Structure 1
Amino acid sequence: MPDSYADLSRFYDLVMTSGYYDYDAYARALLARIGTGRDVLELGVGTGLVADRLLALGPKDLRLTGIDHTDSMLAQARDRLGDRARLRREGVLDMSLPAAFDVAYSVGGVWYIVEEGKESWLSSHLMEEEDNESGLTNLAAAIRPGGSLLLSVQGPHRRADRTLPGGMVYTQHVEVDPEGRHTKDYFIEDQGLVVTHQRLRFRLFPRETADRLLGRCGFHLQESDGVLWRYIRR
């Protein structure tokens, strides 16, 4: 997977903490499902925003490992988290971790759930079904049998813009092809000038396809509540 957030990373925190996510709410929802588990893996740790809240609100003996494929994001995560978490530069396609985790989670990372009305999709930054199967198989190998995979829920991606603290403007454009492949362009403008542009691609897999894919990799859905979907590793 390419270093997909390299250009956006210097503005990432500004965008994400200005109303994009409620990190405290996600952390509390995650902790409720982590329960007595202590070995936790974050898929797409980014700059450490979710991990920071999880560690701050969770038990002191929580052992968190975060992986990401973007050096610039990991550098910020290391500054934020210090020695409170173990951080590794890895992608799910080349991930090789021991079967040591009680829980893995992704909040808008490699995988997450998109819901609109009664419809739902698995969103992935991996464009091909075969790559998703490889990544989820690697993930299953890292989670103890009976452990959980927690995927955050988001609404559909659409064109949007908003003013950021300091007066800069964030804009996103989204194009979709018939196979559910999305191309999303992010722009940050300052006084009418584009100071950064980032293009990302992801794909939405319909619920039926997603259920088959996750099932082949050893996961079955246990619960969903509009905030997180919980899969159990068989």
Structure 2
Amino acid sequence: MADSYAGLARHYDMIMTSGYYDYDAYARELVARIGDRRNVLELGVGTGLACERLLELVPDGLRLTGIDHSRSMLAQARKRLGDRVHLVDQDVLRMTWEPAFDVAFSVGGVWLWLDDKDGGTHLGSHLLRDDENVAGLGNLARAVRPGGLLLLSVQEAHRSAKRPLPDGLQYVQEVHDDGNGRITKDYFVMRGDTVLAHQHSTYRVFPQTAAEQLLRHAGFRAADHESGALFRQYVRT
């Protein structure tokens, strides 16, 4: 996969920590769900914000591995996390680990649930082809021990929006649904009318029934779809 966040990497932390995600809330729920499990994989580690919060809550004994296909993001993660997390330039289509992890999680990474209060819930994926999603989930299942957990974050469905950023900047996102299972999303960092950064991303979206079939086929059984939870939980069969 190409480096899909190269255009936005320099501004990513500012966007994510200015109201886009509540990493503290995600980390608290992760800690509760991880329990005493210790070998943990983050899918799409980005700049390391989620791992950093996890390490603040569980400073000892947690063995974290983070993968990402974006070298620009991993460079920032290495500055943030040092050697506290094993960071790997890799994507799920090339992942070859034998069963090693007790938990795998994604906070808006490779896969995420998009909850549209009026139009149902869909699984969003950075992998655009159906065969890629089958292969990626299969590789992930082989990396998670039987009985291990897969935790996929839940967030509001993507919509066009604007909001202020520090230092007089503005974040703008423009979202288009093509009606055929793909959503395109353009991210902009603006100063006045000047575009400082622009990122174009495309997501494959699966209706809930099709998504659950994909996950079951790969070997993940739905375990917890608690209303209002920040993650959907699956067990590796």
TM-score normalised over the length of structure 1:
0.98
Partners of 1:128 and 1:191 in 2: how far apart? Answer: 37
SS at match of 2:209: helix
Q: Say whether 1:104 aligns with 2:104.
A: yes
2:117 matched to which residue of 1? 117
Q: Say whether 1:190 aligns with 2:188.
A: no
Structure 1 outlier segments of 4+, above 3 Å: none
1:231 matched to which residue of 2? 234
Q: Say whether 1:14 aligns with 2:17.
A: no
2:210 matched to which residue of 1? 209
1:150 matched to which residue of 2? 151
Partners of 2:141 and 2:175 in 1: how far apart? Answer: 31
Partners of 2:205 and 2:116 in 1: how far apart? Answer: 12
C-alpha displacement at 1:116, in angstroms? 2.1
Deviation per residue, 1:108-166 (Å, 9 max, x gap): 00001111237211110111111101000000000000000000001111110111010
1:43 matched to which residue of 2? 43
1:29 matched to which residue of 2? 29
2:220 matched to which residue of 1? 219
Partners of 1:191 and 1:120 in 2: how far apart? Answer: 35
1:180 matched to which residue of 2? 181
Structure 1 range deviating more: 138-147 or 174-183: 174-183
Partners of 1:41 and 1:232 in 2: how far apart? Answer: 14
Partners of 2:50 and 2:142 in 1: how far apart? Answer: 23
Deviation per residue, 1:37-67 (Å, 9 max, x gap): 0000000000000000011112510000000
Deviation per residue, 1:70-97 (Å, 9 max, x gap): 0110000000001110000000001112
Partners of 2:188 and 2:116 in 1: how far apart? Answer: 25
1:136 matched to which residue of 2? 137
Partners of 2:129 and 2:71 in 1: how far apart? Answer: 24
Partners of 2:52 and 2:99 in 1: how far apart? Answer: 24
Partners of 1:27 and 1:229 in 2: how far apart? Answer: 14
SS at match of 1:187: strand
Partners of 2:21 and 2:104 in 1: how far apart? Answer: 19
State how many pairs are aligned: 234
SS at match of 1:83: coil
How large is the RMSD of aligned CA atoms in angstroms? 1.0
Counterpart residue identity of residue 162, structure 1: R
Structure 1 range deviating more: 140-149 or 58-67: 58-67
SS at match of 2:82: helix
2:170 matched to which residue of 1? 169
Partners of 2:152 and 2:28 in 1: how far apart? Answer: 14
SS at match of 2:3: coil
C-alpha displacement at 1:180, in angstroms? 2.1
Is there any run of 5+ residues in structure 2 with no aligned partner, and where? none
